[in-house]
Structure 1
Amino acid sequence: MNRLSIILPAKNEAGALASLLPRLRAAQPGAEIIVVDDGSTDDTRAICESSGVTCLSSPYSMGNGAAIKRGARAAVGEILIFMDGDGQHDPADVARLLERLEQGYDMVVGARDWGSQAGVGRGVANTIYNWLATRMTGHVIADLTSGFRAVRADKFREFLHLLPNGFSYPTTSTMAFFRSAYPVAYVPIKAAKRVGKSHIKPFKDGVRFLLIIFKIATLYSPLKLFVPASALFFLLGCLNYAWTFMHGGRLTNMSTLMWSAAVIVFLIGLVSEQITALTYRRHD
């Protein structure tokens, strides 16, 4: 097996890391383990030193995605494992992801069941994400936002420039792999309850929900989102015209506005499609 690098983004997760790192070392004794300390104010660095793992520290918090990018750049392994530093993911499941990866896949994602979701709201949101991404790509996506995944390093680094610094790096990387025709597989896992307090805020989570919906479309095929929206505006314009013609024998400004919106939305979709194609053009 090629050298393995395990990357854990962590922000004030010393309590979880104290028990997680020894278990991870026992499960994968030959792996390079990198904890990316995202501006922690606790004993994260000391815990890493005592556990004999590499710790990359930031002077201030840059975000979960930024930590992932730093870890991916520093890792020397040909296969990268990303897992949360809060104790949710079982180190024993790393072997299951690697086994699946060796079957010819470029990314393998640990797919959580409903019982592993962090609350009903998050579960419903993730279900919507999975459904929409499945419709967009034509492939069954079991868990779009899971942070537990195994990837081939050379493939993953192709998309580092696309990854946001925030929490939606799993969405971005998954859609990028599908767009580039890199095979993706899913392995069912059970995620434990996190140790400590979550860093996700309800209001920001709601805004992030909307942003991820648009990101799913724009990262894969914008026309699959804009064409139905354009058709809806056109249909509403036709229905409004039929109503006003039957009751007043005239064409109203509202119908014209709807038809104009249909054309504008469709043209925006065409431009977005071209931008997306340029985004994935390789510059070797």
Structure 2
Amino acid sequence: MLISIVLPAKNESAAIGQTIEKIKLLSIINEIIVVNDGSMDDTKEAAEKAGAKVVSHPYSKGNGAAIKTGARAATGEIIIFMDADGQHDPQDIPRLLEKIEQGYDLVVGARQKGSQASVGRGVANKLYNNLATYMTEHLVEDLTSGFRAVRAEKFREFLYLLPNGFSYPTTSTMAFFRAGYSVAYVPIHAAKRIGKSHINPMKDGIRFFLIIFKIATLFSPLKMFLPISVVLFLMATGWYGYTLYEFGRFTNMSALLYTGSVMIFLMGLISEQITALMYKDES
């Protein structure tokens, strides 16, 4: 199999060179593609000097956009996505490829304890993983890890779904599950990054809530809407029972809760049909 490495990079001149050198020590890699996402430093020059093929964006489009550019430029049957900041150890690549050879379509490097940059991000990732496990009914060990190996042909099927920002791992993982492709996890340790993080705490907090909803809408919206609908229905029934017993009548609050329950259920049903159309096979 031809194997391509894709490294999205924005202002990573401090780390990109040594990251590429470590990858080159593996004789199994056919090409290394660095997607220079509008860097303002010497990222492009450092990557070229280290021997990588560089594809540049004229301005910063986002991590997800860089991933899509790299996926289109890659010639390998297998694409390995890694961070360019030194967090991911290239020595873990053979372990990911071993799973691919066993028949898996997507293999994710699952970060173990001690790998998270902060307690807050660790808690957020734990919540993502639990919610994704509930939605897919498969154990999801690390939904947001950017260190992954995929079959290029299948990954390109979902390029139109991927956002241009940082949540491409979430979207691609849920898309693979939704399409019925095989997903596996390999335990890894993510080291401390070299250089400054590009993640903004305020934007990251907003992204946290958006990803929660994206997880649902990308896989099975009804599994998210149905529990809410049931809770409202039970509240309506409970309130109706109370008012009937105390006052002998049906109140507006009960009517509102019953209506809300039905509306939310119907929203989930419609969303489920829309999601099915997103994954319609056009081949």
With normalisation by structure 1, the TM-score equals 0.98
Aligned residues: 283
- Tell me the amino acid that sits aligned with residue 32 of structure 1: E
Which residue of structure 2 aligns with residue 73 of structure 1? 72
Which residue of 2 is the match for residue 186 of structure 1?
Answer: 185
Note closer, same or farther for the CA distance 1:201–1:81 as it changes in structure 2 (3 Å cut).
same
For the residues of structure 2 that align with 1:58 and 1:189, how far apart are their CA atoms? 30
Q: In structure 2, what residue type is equivalent to 1:135?
A: Y
**Whole-angstrom CA distance in 2 between matches of 1:18 and 1:152:** 26
Q: Which amino acid aligns with 1:113?
A: Q
Equivalences for residues 114-263 of structure 1 within 5 A: 114-263=113-262
Change (3 A) 1:208 1:219: same
Amino acid at match of 1:21: I
1:126 CA drift (Å): 0.4
Q: 1:29: how far off?
A: 5.6
Partner-residue secondary structure (3-state), 2:224: helix
Deviation at 1:282, TM superposition (A): 1.8
Detail structure 1 runs of 4+ shifted over 6 Å in the superposition: none
**1:44-123 aligned within 5 A:** 44-123=43-122
Instruction: Report how far residue 237 of structure 1 moved.
Output: 1.0
Map Cα deviations across residues 96-154 of structure 1 (whole Å, 9 max, x no partner).
10011111100100000121011000000000000010111111010000000000000
Separation in 2 of the partners of 1:157 and 1:28?
A: 26
**RMSD of Structure 2 on Structure 1 (CA):** 1.0
Match of 1:31 in 2: 30
The amino acid that maps onto 1:195 is I
* Equivalent position SS for 1:185: strand
**What's the counterpart of residue 278 of structure 2?**
279
Deviation (angstroms), 1:28: 4.0
Write the letter of the residue equivalent to 2:220. Answer: S
How far apart are the structure 1 equivalents of 2:28 and 2:112?
28
Contact 2:5 2:29 in 1 (8 A): no
Separation (CA, whole Å) in 2 of partners of 1:198 and 1:253: 52
Partner AA of 2:232 in structure 1 = F
For residues 220-252 of structure 1, what are the alpha-carbon distances to aligned partners after superposition, in whole Å with 9 as ceiling and x for unaligned?
111111111111111111122222223322222
Identity %: 64
The aligned amino acid for 1:143 is D
Q: 1:199 is matched by which residue type in structure 2? A: H
Contact 2:3–2:28 under 8 Å retained in 1: no
What letter is aligned with 2:75? V
Residue range with higher mean Cα deviation, 234-243 or 15-24: 234-243
2:4–2:29 CA contact under 8 A, matched in 1 = no
User: Does the 8 A contact of 2:2 with 2:30 survive in 1?
Assistant: yes
What CA deviation, in whole Å up to 9, does each residue of 1:57-81 have, x standing for no partner? 1111101000000000010000000
Q: Which residue of 2 aligns with 1:22?
A: 21
Question: Following the alignment from structure 2 to structure 1, what is the Cα–Cα distance between the partners of residues 193 and 207?
Answer: 21
SS at match of 1:76: coil
